[in-house]
Amino acid sequence: MFRLPVLRRFRIGAVVAAIAVALPLAACSTGGGSSDSGSSSEATDTLNLAIPPSALTLDPAQMQPTNSRYIWGSIYESLAYWDPQTGAVTPWAAKGWAYSPDGKTLTIQLRDGLTFSDGSAVLASDVAATINRSVNTSGYIQSVDTAVASAEASDDKTVLVHFKYYDPKWVSLMGREVGVIAKASNLNSPDIATNPIGSGPYTLDTQASVPGTKYVLRKRKDYWDAESFPFSTINVNIVNDPTAQLNAFKAGQANATIVTSQQVSGAKAVEGATVTQVDATTVYWLLFLDKYGKSSNPEFKDVRVRQAVNYALDRDGIANKLLQGHATPTDQVFFPSRDVFDKDLEQKYPYDPAKAKELLAQAGYPNGFTIEIPSSQATQQFEPTLSQELGAVGITLKWVPIPESQTASIILTGQYQLYLKQSGIVSDPYTAALYFTPDGGTVNPEKYTDPTITSIYDKITTTVDPKQSIEVYKELNNYAVDQALAAPVTMTAALWATSQGVTFVDRAGLPSDIRQFGVAGK
Amino acid sequence: MLLYALRRLGIGVVLAVLVTFITYLLLSTSFRDMVSTLLGPDATPDSVTGRLHDLGYDRPLVVQYGDWLAHAVRGDLGTSLFTSQAVAPAVLSHMVVTMSIVLPGLAIALILSVILGVWAASRSGAPDRIAQGISLVGHVVPALLTAIVLVVVFAVELKIFPATGYVQFGDSPVGWLRSTTLPVVVLVVAGMAAITAQVRGSMIDELGKDYVRTLRTAGLPSWSIVLKHALRNAGSPALTVTSLQFIQLFSHSVIIENVFALPGFGSFAFTSAQSIDVPVIMGVTIVSVVLVTVVNLIADIVNGYLNPKARLH
């Protein structure tokens, strides 16, 4: 047996090393932490957000209305904003606007005092240049902003936007990515996507930021309405894992974060924390992708089969049991707290398996049928329940796993006739209306339409008066529910946890906006 | 040795070209999905096609790959489609984060494993059981579980270390140490399992050989026999395991970085794969291939130093 004095020295050395490391660490742990850890005590001045990743570019032609809007929406000024309290599109950099009678020209008046972060004045020519570049650059904005022909400045404060046809959604887009204002001379800068000259209330601290990981925003003192933005610094931390987001919140590194329904109790356990439920941010709906009946599963051509699916769904059960009450049962896809949503329609398809069976029998399917349906991470939670409820009336679902990243292209191939889709809800009725038109994208890959839909859509695109247009949207909503063009299941909620001192405005269907967050007592 | 190193580097270059080409080939089936994601849910097939054309992803595959390779050899790995960040500096900055947990993790794991392995082989009995126990724990407890437990105990409950995030060394050395301590501990536990077992096994073999008995009869002190002779001979297989552990810990970093929200290479690769950010995935792939090649080469060279017989191969 060997006796090794050297090992004893190693042992002693190891203990000394451990103490040497532990002491300073323990010391700093009691010293208030380093600059990276935003504790709740500094919450009134600094907002530390922990959000999941999404496309993060500051190129005005490519920005998307995802969580990344907390970043680009703070750096760029927007012509309008969606009021967090009311949901209404409200003038901001634009003090007003007016359509020409044919809806093909929009005149926008800019307010006084707008400046870029380099101190220069925001001019109408900057607004026009931003719009023109976005509609002429292939990218996200070009794909949503299809109606604009061009924009021009008639003077320093007046912008004229010329449309190829009346676009009912354009005013609401002014409060989203389409309405941002970039500096004309900076638009073709090579670093426009990472370090732009902004016009909004915050500037990006590029030294402290790590693209794709952490964005540090500093409030502009020379901003025309700096008082409306209470936080002097906003740290937006991109955290991929929901558990890590919650841990950051629990440890005091984040004072606002998104949580899942399973994480609510954990977030509430933090002293002074509040969890706010934002109703109706996402709709889950079963889409009938072959209403023309051209495939080997032509069943959904028959309105009675589509209605049977609607009757077979126990929406209350799904919302309250499966989703633990963090969801609202619905058979509509229009935003619930706006004018188009019709409460009476919610009674259209009560849970009635017997009625569903009867309708299937009338349609010629007394023994039901079997159908394949794509399975992905987003659908897994619902699969057992949907299989059970539709199976009970004779419709057997065969879930087929598909790659998450290829969902869109697989749906567009027309391979599947039924699909459980998760769509973000916006309060803009035109976006919801589009789902039922041939421009519905992955919601309507077969480009289904019928004379009624065509007629209503024509009215939507020619009715410039907002009040009159609401009635037209209602007509479409009524028709979509009556004809069971889809089978909406639930509108699920988003859950935000905020620390003591940070407030969060309950808002749904609106773009992510830094205005959601406030300081308690202010 | 120089010729050997050059030959290995040559093989590494061929490997890099092959792996990146196969990766590009596989990614090519998802170009349309990538652009669809990029353009959002409102994208029409026409706008997707237009964007594909603008980005050059509708050209013949070999032309696209050749174009990428021609830029890559000049150090230009393109620009991320989702963050607009240049890929080469992005990969480097994320690699720094990963290295700042993997290298200390591996070094500490190696030191502790050698101490533990030598101790166990030399003393048998309780020390041996302790070493085997630690090795077993490292094998059976997943790194993810270790990470979660450490976060809950030391970050969420005790608030000694931050739960998430990374502080650059230049900004705050103490902050850097605090932000990397827990991830390093996870990697140490994971790394020690295999290295300890290897060192212990090799040392037991060496200490049972004739030359050790000869050295003892010649009157050499025990510490000299163990550290100067037996450990050197046992070091070669241990080094091979260590180089493999480096790659293993690198893989672990995907999980560890997600749990601790570290902006490292692993989470960078994971996020880019989720969004099919082709330029980033290609950048991550080539850097990974180069890294594995270089680490194996270094291990071979050091092996050659420890074991002259290895230089012949």
Instruction: Kindly determine whether residue B90 and residue A64, on different chains, have CB atoms separated by under 8 Å.
Output: no
Task: Write out the two tokens for B28.
Answer: 């090519």
Residue A509 pLDDT class (50, 70, 90 cuts):
low
Higher pLDDT, A336 or B96: B96
| CATH assignment, A16-273+499-519 | 3.40.190.10
d(CA A98, CA A158): 11
pLDDT (tens digit per residue) in A258-316: 998 888 989 999 999 999 988 878 899 999 999 999 998 899 999 999 999 999 999 99
Residue tagged 């529910």 (tokens): A481
What is the per-residue pLDDT for A16? 39
Q: In this prediction, what percent of chain A has a pLDDT beyond 70? A: 90
Q: Determine the residue of chain A that is closest to B264 in CA distance.
A: A213
* Kind of pairing between the strands at A46-51 and A256-259: parallel
The 3-state secondary structure of A467-499, one letter per residue: HHHHHHHHHHHHHHHHCCCEEEEEEEEEEEEEC
| Contact indicator for A122, A44 with CB cutoff of 8 Å | no
pLDDT exceeds 80 at position A341 = yes
Residue A44 pLDDT class (50, 70, 90 cuts):
low
R_g of chain A, CA atoms, integer Å: 26
Cα separation of the two ends of chain B: 10
Sign, CA torsion B257/B263/B264/B265: positive
Bridge partners of A327, per DSSP, are: A492
Cα separation of the two ends of chain A: 75
Task: Report the 10 Å Cβ neighbour count for A1.
Answer: 7
Question: HSE-up of A435 (CA within 13 Å, CB side)?
Answer: 31
Residue A10 pLDDT class (50, 70, 90 cuts):
very low
Instruction: Kindly determine whether residue B164 and residue A1, on different chains, have CB atoms separated by under 8 Å.
Output: no
What is the per-residue pLDDT for A37? 37
| CATH assignment, A283-493 | 3.10.105.10
| Contact indicator for B183, B226 with CB cutoff of 8 Å | no
Q: Is A340 on the interface with B (CB under 8 A)?
A: no
Residue tagged 């989470």 (tokens): B267
Per 3-state DSSP, chain A is made up of helix, strand and coil in percentages (nearest 5) of: 35, 25, 45
Backbone φ and ψ of A259, nearest 5°: -125, 160
What is the per-residue pLDDT for A110? 97
Bridge partners of B116, per DSSP, are: none
d(CA B27, CA B34): 9
| Contact indicator for A142, A135 with CB cutoff of 8 Å | yes
Residue B41 pLDDT class (50, 70, 90 cuts):
low
d(CA B277, CA B272): 5
Cβ within 8 Å of residue A321, ≥6 positions away: none
Quote the mean pLDDT of chain B. Answer: 87
Has the ipTM of the complex gone over 0.85? no
Can you tell me the mean pLDDT for A317-340?
88
Residues of chain A found within 8 Å of residue B258, distances taken between Cβ atoms: 240-241, 244
| Contact indicator for A102, A166 with CB cutoff of 8 Å | yes
DSSP B238-287: HHHHHHHHHHHHHHHHHHHHHHTT---HHHHHHHHHHHT-HHHHHHHHHH
User: A335 by DSSP, 3-state: which?
Assistant: coil
Residues of chain A found within 8 Å of residue B167, distances taken between Cβ atoms: 34-36
pLDDT (tens digit per residue) in A210-232: 888 889 999 999 999 998 899 99
Sign, CA torsion B193/B197/B200/B202: negative
d(CA A472, CA A451): 15
DSSP B13-56: HHHHHHHHHHHHHHHGGGHHHHHHHHH-TT--HHHHHHHHHHHT
pLDDT exceeds 80 at position A40 = no
**Hey, which of A122-131, B194-203, B281-290 has the most confident mean pLDDT?**
A122-131
Bridge partners of A210, per DSSP, are: A214
| Domain chopping of chain B, boundaries | 1-74+276-313, 93-275
Length of chain A: 522
Q: What's the whole-model pTM score?
A: 0.79
d(CA B40, CA A340): 25
Backbone φ and ψ of B241, nearest 5°: -65, -40
CA distance B282 to chain A (A): 17
User: A520 by DSSP, 3-state: which?
Assistant: coil
Task: Write out the two tokens for B112.
Answer: 């502790």
Q: Determine the residue of chain B that is closest to A208 in CA distance.
A: B171
Question: HSE-up of A462 (CA within 13 Å, CB side)?
Answer: 6
What is the per-residue pLDDT for A121? 96
d(CA A217, CA A220): 9
R_g of chain B, CA atoms, integer Å: 24
d(CA B115, CA A480): 73
pLDDT exceeds 90 at position A241 = no
d(CA A333, CA A317): 19
Q: Is A189 on the interface with B (CB under 8 A)?
A: no
d(CA B144, CA B266): 14
**Closest alpha carbon to B181 in B195, B167, B196:** B167
Mutate to test the interface with A, among B29, B35, B39, B180 (most CBs of A within 10 A): B39
Can you tell me the mean pLDDT for A305-332?
93
pLDDT exceeds 50 at position B23 = yes
Q: Determine the residue of chain A that is closest to B40 in CA distance.
A: A140
Can you tell me the mean pLDDT for B56-78?
93
- Using a 10 angstrom Cβ sphere, with 0-12 exposed, 13-18 middle and 19 or more buried, the burial of residue B170 is exposed
pLDDT exceeds 90 at position B239 = no
pLDDT (tens digit per residue) in B164-222: 888 888 888 999 999 999 999 999 998 888 888 888 888 888 888 888 888 888 888 88
| Contact indicator for A270, A253 with CB cutoff of 8 Å | no
Higher pLDDT, B309 or A178: A178
Higher pLDDT, A418 or B125: A418
Instruction: Kindly determine whether residue B258 and residue A439, on different chains, have CB atoms separated by under 8 Å.
Output: no
Can you tell me the mean pLDDT for A460-468?
86
What is the per-residue pLDDT for A132? 96
pLDDT exceeds 50 at position A90 = yes
Domain made up of B93-275: CATH architecture: Orthogonal Bundle (1.10)
* Range A60-95 burial, b when 16+ CB lie within 10 A, else e: bbbbbbbbbbbbbbbbbbbbbbbbbeebebebbbbe
CA distance B256 to chain A (A): 11
Instruction: Kindly determine whether residue A34 and residue B172, on different chains, have CB atoms separated by under 8 Å.
Output: yes
d(CA A35, CA A190): 31
What is the per-residue pLDDT for A20? 40
pLDDT exceeds 50 at position A376 = yes
Domain with CATH 3.10.105.10 in chain A: 283-493
Residues of chain A found within 8 Å of residue B44, distances taken between Cβ atoms: 143, 439, 441
Quote the mean pLDDT of chain A. Answer: 86
Task: From residue B163, give the alpha-carbon distance in Å to each of A41, A348, B251.
Answer: 17, 49, 21
Task: Write out the two tokens for B167.
Answer: 């502080």
Backbone φ and ψ of B53, nearest 5°: -65, -45
Q: Considering only A240-254, A368-382, A402-416, which range has the smallest mean pLDDT?
A: A402-416
What is the per-residue pLDDT for B234? 82
Domain with CATH 3.40.190.10 in chain A: 16-273+499-519
